[in-house]
Chains A and B, each alone.
Chain A
Amino acid sequence: MSDIKKAFENGKAFIPFVTAGDPDLETTEKLLIEMSKNGADIIEIGIPFSDPIAEGVVIQEADLRALASGTTTDKIFEMVKRVRSEIKCALAVMTYMNPIFVYGTDKFMQRCSECGISAVIVPDTPFEEKQELAPYCDKHGVELVSLIAPTSHDRIKMIAKEAQGFVYCVSSMGVTGVRSEITTDIGEMVRLVKSVSDTPCAVGFGISTPEQAKKMAESADGVIVGSAIVKIVAKYGKDCIKPVCDYVRSMKEAIS
C-alpha cells in the first residue's frame, strides 16, 4: 500500500499545506516535524513559484516571502531529505508546472523519491497535459494527484479513472483562500469519483474552520487546508509552530 493510501486509514485524513521557506526553511522544517505529531496525515509542501495563478493573495504573498528569503527547489529537497525520518506522516509536493519542468521533470521526481515525498500536486496541469508528468512520476514511484473542480461535471469520471494517490476536490470556483461559505455539492463530486475509482477524495480550497472541515469530511475522505495555516505563519513568523500545531490538532479532532 502506498504512503498516501495508508494516510487515509487513520479515519478522515487531515492535510495541511505550508509554503516551504516562509518565512524561512528552518521554520518550515520545524513545522513539518511538529505538524506530523499533531494530527497531520499528509503534509502538502508548497514549492514557491513567482506567479502562482491558482493562488489567492495569502499564498501569493507567502510564495514571494519564501523566494525573497532565498528558498530554492534544491534547498527544499535538501531540508526534507535531512529531516525526513523525524516527519511522522506522508508528504506531497504542491507546485506549478514551470518549476518542475525547468528543474527537469525526471530529476524532480527522482529527488522527490529520494526525499520520501510520495505525491505531487500540480494545479496548472490538467488531465489533457498529464503526459508531461505521468511517465516520470511512474518511473520514480511518485503518485500524480488529479484535481477536479466544480466545473468538471462530465470530466470527473474520465479523470477519476486514472487517479493516483488521492483525488483533490476543489471545493469552490476561483483561487485558494479562506471562504465563509462553500456551496458546491461536494457529495455529488465524491459520488462520481467513487463510481469509477476507489481512490480517496480530499476536499480543499476555502476551508478554515473546524465546522467547515467537519461538514466536508461527512462526504469526503480528507480535508486540505492551506491559506488558513499560511495566515497563521504570516502573523507569527518564526514563532508560528505552536499556534499552527494547535490549529492542526483542532482540525484533526473536528473531522475524527
Chain B
Amino acid sequence: MSKGKFGVHGGQFVPETLMNAINEFEEAYNRYKDDPEFVSELDFLMREYAGRPSRLYYAEKMTKDLGGAKIYLKREDLNHTGSHKLNNCLGQCLLAKKMGKTRVIAETGAGQHGVATATVAALLGLECEIFMGKEDTIRQALNVYRMKLLGAKVNAVETGTMTLKDAVNEAMREWTNRVSDTHYVLGSVMGPHPFPTVVRDFQSVIGREIKSQLFEKEGKLPDVVMACVGGGSNAMGAFYEFIKDENVKLIGCEAAGLGVDNPKNAATIANGTLGIFHGMKSYFCQDEYGQIAPVYSISAGLDYPGIGPEHANLADTSRAQYVPVTDEEAVCAFEYLSRTEGIIPAIESAHAVAHCIKIAPTMDKDKIIVVNLSGRGDKDVAAIARYRGENLYE
C-alpha cells in the first residue's frame, strides 16, 4: 500500500535497498514524536540552542512606505545558523541518535541546510557528510567553509546541472551505499514518505509561533501568510498551522529566474507537470518524456525542479496560491528590505518579500501580512554584488 499521500501526491518511490531504512525511520518517528523525554529534549535545544521562539517583528517603516496592509516579519533569520533549517535538523538528528545512527548525510543548495546539519552533527557528536552541487559550492563558497569548520566533509557534486537536484541524487545514492549506521537528513518537505510529514512537523513550530505571537500583538489571525518555496520547508512550516483557518490566505513564492516564459526558471507550480521523482509523486519541471529540466534561479536554495507533495496538493485544492517571482524582483526586494528595515534577507526569502511589496499596497490598512523571513542574507552579499556588476569575490 502506498503511504504518505497528499491527494494524489507523495508516496515512497525509492530503491528497494532503502525501504527498510525509511520504514525504520517512520517507526522511530511515530515512537518518539510524542515521547515526553524526546519532546522535552527537543524543546530544550530549540529554546536554549536555536534561540526559539524567533521574533515576530512589525516592519513599521516598510508598512508605512508601501501604504497598505500591516507587515510582520517572522524572523527565522535570527535562529542559530541563520535560517529555519535548524528546526528540522535538530529534530531529525536527535531522532537519528535515538535510532543508534552514528553518521548523518544531507544535500544542500544554498548551504543553509548543510550548515544546519553540520552544526547539529557537531553538537550531538555525529559524523557528517554533505552533498552540494559544484555550481553551488562556487555561488555559496562561504557556507562551504562554514561546514568544514563545523567538522563536516563536503562533497562537490559534478553530475547534471551541478545544483540542488544533483546533490539530492548523490545523497540518495550514498544512502543506498551505507544505511546501517547512516541517516539521511533530508532538508525539505519532499522525498519519500515519511520525510514530507516529518520535516513539516519539525518546521510547523514556525506557524504555531506566528499564530500565538500575532494573537498577543493584534488579537487576531493574519490575513495572509507568505513564504518562498523551493522544496517548500519554510513555507510548509509557516502554512501548516493555518490550513484549517480558511480565511487566512497562504501564498508560496516560487523562483521564476529570468521569467516564467524563459527556460531559465524554477517555477514548478507555474510550469511543472505531474511526475514521480526523488521518491515522490508531485509537480516537476520536465519535458514530454519525463526528463527532468535543468532549472535555474539566482537563489541556490530555490533552484530545484520539484516541490513537496503537500504543496502540490495545496495547489490542486486551491488552499494555497503559488506565484512566480523573478531574479530581478528578488534582488530589488533584497536591497529594499536592507535599506528600509536594516534587515538583509536571504535571497530565497527575498522572493517572498518581493511579492509582499507587490500586494501590500493593494490591501487595506487593517489587513495583516506575515512574511516568513526564512534566512539571513550574509551568504548572498557577494553574489548580489556580482549581479549588480560589482567585481566582489569572497
Contact = CB atoms under 8 A, between A and B. Distances in A.
A159 B20 CA distance: 13
B15 A149 contact: yes
A200 to B, nearest CB: 18
Contacts, number: 123
Interface in A25-79: 49-51, 53-54, 56-57, 60, 67, 72-74
A18 to B, nearest CB: 19
The winner among B13, B18, B20 for most chain A CB atoms within 10 A is B13
Contact of B16 (A57, A99, A170): A170
Nearest to B275: A98
Interface in B272-287: 273-279, 281, 284, 286
A41 to B, nearest CB: 23
A127 B15 CA distance: 10
B14 A126 contact: yes
Contacts of A148: 16
A147 interface: yes
A132 interface: yes
A182 B220 CA distance: 63
Given A53-B173, A173-B178, A126 B289 contact: no
A149 B11 CA distance: 20
Given A102-B288, A174-B176, A175-B173, A126 B165 contact: no
Nearest to B178: A173
Contact of A50 (B14, B276, B291): B291
A127 B17 contact: no
Chain A interface bracket (under 10, 10 to 19, 20 to 34, 35 or more) = 35 or more
B277 A51 contact: yes
Contact of A51 (B2, B20, B292): B292
B188 interface: no
A153 B179 CA distance: 14
B169 A132 contact: no
Nearest to B286: A102
A151 interface: yes
Contact of A53 (B11, B19, B169, B289): B169
B176 A54 contact: yes
Top 4 closest A-B pairs, CB basis? A102-B290, A174-B177, A149-B17, A99-B290
Interface of A: 49-51, 53-54, 56-57, 60, 67, 72-74, 96-103, 123-129, 131-132, 147-153, 155, 159, 170, 173-175
Given A54-B15, A151-B21, 17 more contacts: A51-B165, A51-B166, A51-B169, A53-B15, A98-B284, A98-B290, A124-B14, A132-B2, A147-B16, A152-B20, A155-B20, A159-B16, A170-B15, A173-B176, A173-B179, A175-B173, A175-B176
